[in-house]
């Protein structure tokens, strides 16, 4: 009987720890910049085997804490994909965050705003504002969350990869209130089958139209084509793409990688023969785990040291 009670107690403690390890917070403590008064129309649904959230106008950030004995001070801010139409909140969000906590990394999943004129003054800058705010928030609360303020990275899938790479290439133009002049530059980028370019030929048309509109000028397309925005100050990057990705061309990752190398920015690119698009943590019909390669890259750069 005592053994059964002990096992039940351990199970209860384990469940309790899992519950308290996640904290959902509003991304902005006060008013949301670049927003219009509007009704909250946010919807959560399950479509084609994927949990999605749409019509997001009130952004949040969810904190996933590693156990104290594993915590190493590194943080990763995750932007799920969805073409700037929806957010794939689980398989490109919470599932990934939990994997990082097992490495000792504190993970944050951002439910960023969907560009829409109904609730935004200027839809094209809304997601980047949320990305910058997430970095600013984590950096300013680094001591509270036991994070090294110089080890804060971003991770993005698909259009979330566009947002992550935009934070890493547009950080000099701060689009949010920033009284403390906190740096919004991420220290590293992890980009998984990312949308990078809006240029004709390789750009992802759906994401581009949703973010900057169907009639965007060539100059505007170039502005948000992040392979054209890389400098020597761009943070290091780890990229993953499948050669058979018919959703977002692998040329997005290739062009970004080439530009990083040209500017002498440390980078690692993994191109797989097959895997398609939107696979999250696990590529279809493959035993290869890109997360293992990512862990090795993080170790190589010292971001998993305690």
Tell me the residue ranges of DSSP E strands in 144-273.
152-157, 188-192, 237-242, 267-272
As given in the structure block, the two tokens for residue 123 are 């839809």
β-bridge partners, 120: 35
| Cβ atoms of 79 and 160 closer than 8 Å | yes
Q: 62 near 22, Cβ under 8 Å?
A: yes
Q: Where are the alpha helices (DSSP H) in the chain?
A: 2-20, 95-101, 126-140, 159-169, 205-212, 218-223, 251-262, 290-300
Q: What is the pLDDT of residue 6?
A: 47
Q: What is the pLDDT of residue 185?
A: 98
Q: Flag residues of the chain having pLDDT under 70.
A: 1-21
Query: Would you state the pLDDT for residue 50?
Result: 82
Which of the 8 DSSP states describes residue 250?
A: T
The full set of domains in the chain, from first to last, is 23-300 (3.40.50.1820)
- What is the reported pTM? 0.92
């Amino acid at each position: 009987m005592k053994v059964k009670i002990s096992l039940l107690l351990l199970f209860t403690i384990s469940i309790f720890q899992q519950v308290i390890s996640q904290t959902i917070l509003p991304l902005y403590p006060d008013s949301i910049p670049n927003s219009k008064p509007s009704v909250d129309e946010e919807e959560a649904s399950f479509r084609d085997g994927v949990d999605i959230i749409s019509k997001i106008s009130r952004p949040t950030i969810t904190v996933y804490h590693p156990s104290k004995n594993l915590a190493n001070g590194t943080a990763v801010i995750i932007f799920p994909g969805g073409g700037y139409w929806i957010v794939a909140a689980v398989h490109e969000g919470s599932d990934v965050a939990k994997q990082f906590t097992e490495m000792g990394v504190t993970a944050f999943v951002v439910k960023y705003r969907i560009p829409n004129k109904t609730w935004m003054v200027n839809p094209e800058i809304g997601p980047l504002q949320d990305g910058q705010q997430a970095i600013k928030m984590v950096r300013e609360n680094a001591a509270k969350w036991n994070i090294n303020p110089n080890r804060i990275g971003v991770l993005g899938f698909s259009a979330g990869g566009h947002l992550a790479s935009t934070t890493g290439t547009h950080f000099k133009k701060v689009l949010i209130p920033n009284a403390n002049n906190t740096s919004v530059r991420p220290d590293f980028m992890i980009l998984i089958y990312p949308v990078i370019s809006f240029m004709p030929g390789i750009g992802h048309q759906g994401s581009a139209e949703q973010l900057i509109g169907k009639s965007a000028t060539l100059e505007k397309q170039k502005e948000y084509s992040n392979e054209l925005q890389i400098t020597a100050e761009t943070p290091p990057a780890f990229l993953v793409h499948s050669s058979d990705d018919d959703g977002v061309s692998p040329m997005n990752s290739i062009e970004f990688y080439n530009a990083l190398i040209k500017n002498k920015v440390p980078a690692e690119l993994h191109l797989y023969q097959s895997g398609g698009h939107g696979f999250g943590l696990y590529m279809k019909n493959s035993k290869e785990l890109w997360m293992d390669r990512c862990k090795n890259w993080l170790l190589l750069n010292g971001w998993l040291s305690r």
